[in-house]
Structure formats: structure tokens, C-alpha cells
């Protein structure tokens, strides 16, 4: 079973994402801030990280940089309200695998996730 870590501080959005992924056969966990996301990504066995850039405590940029500097190969899909090419290019250059802007179609997000996971 594929385990996905959702790093998202908006409770409603995190709950919606969890529900949608569960319906599609995925197991998820939510990290409400960047520090927790970093700890969970390193200590637990996840196969993909959905990472918001605007997280409290430690933002998504710091989480992305730290994970990649530790050699973490976990696929990371940025899910953010920051909708501009410059930030997208920076995130991809720092090691993000995909960059999805909010609002998004859940079906599109599921397809991106599946492309990184072997179901």
C-alpha cells in the first residue's frame, strides 16, 4: 500500500486530500507544519510527499532543501498557492519533482501522484 505524507497547514484542505487519497486506495498522514513534515519524512516510511510551501514553523522551501541535502530520494510534489513561473523553476531546481498550484483538480493531482508510485 502506498503511503503519502501531506504537509499542509489548512485543516480543511488536508482533510479533503486525505479523504480523496483514501478513496483511491492510498494511506496518508498529515503534517501541519514544516518541522513535523521533515521529521515524519525522515523517520517514517513514505513513498511520496505533497508539500505546501507556506507552512508554519519551517516553510516548505526549507523542508525541500533539507530533505534533498540529506540525500532523500522521496518524490516531492509541491502543492501551493504561489502561482508564478519563477517560484516553480526554483522549486524544481531545488529538487521538487512536480509543482501544482492551488486550486487544483483532484483528479489531476491523483494522476501526478500515481505517475511516481508503482501501484
Give pLDDT tens digits for 53-62. 999 999 999 9
* Per-residue pLDDT reduced to its tens digit, 64-98: 999 999 999 999 999 999 999 999 999 999 999 99
CATH class of 3-116: alpha beta
CB atoms within 10 A of CB 50: 27
Residue 56 confidence (pLDDT): 97
- What pTM was estimated for this model as a whole? 0.95
Give dist(CA 94, CA 38) in Å, integer. Answer: 16
For residue 40, how far is the Cα from the chain centroid? Answer: 12
Per-domain residue ranges of the chain: 3-116
Amino acid at each position: 500500500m502506498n503511503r503519502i505524507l501531506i504537509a499542509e497547514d489548512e485543516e480543511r484542505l488536508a482533510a479533503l486530500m486525505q479523504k480523496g487519497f483514501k478513496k483511491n486506495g492510498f494511506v496518508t498522514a498529515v503534517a501541519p507544519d514544516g518541522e513535523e513534515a521533515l521529521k515524519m519524512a525522515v523517520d517514517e516510511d513514505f513513498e511520496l510527499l505533497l508539500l505546501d510551501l507556506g507552512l508554519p514553523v519551517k516553510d516548505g522551501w526549507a523542508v525541500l532543501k533539507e530533505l534533498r541535502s540529506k540525500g532523500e530520494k522521496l518524490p516531492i510534489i509541491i502543492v501551493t498557492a504561489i502561482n508564478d513561473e519563477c517560484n516553480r523553476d526554483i522549486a524544481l531546481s531545488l529538487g521538487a519533482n512536480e509543482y501544482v498550484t492551488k486550486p487544483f483538480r483532484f483528479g489531476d493531482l491523483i494522476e501526478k501522484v500515481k505517475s511516481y508510485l508503482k501501484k
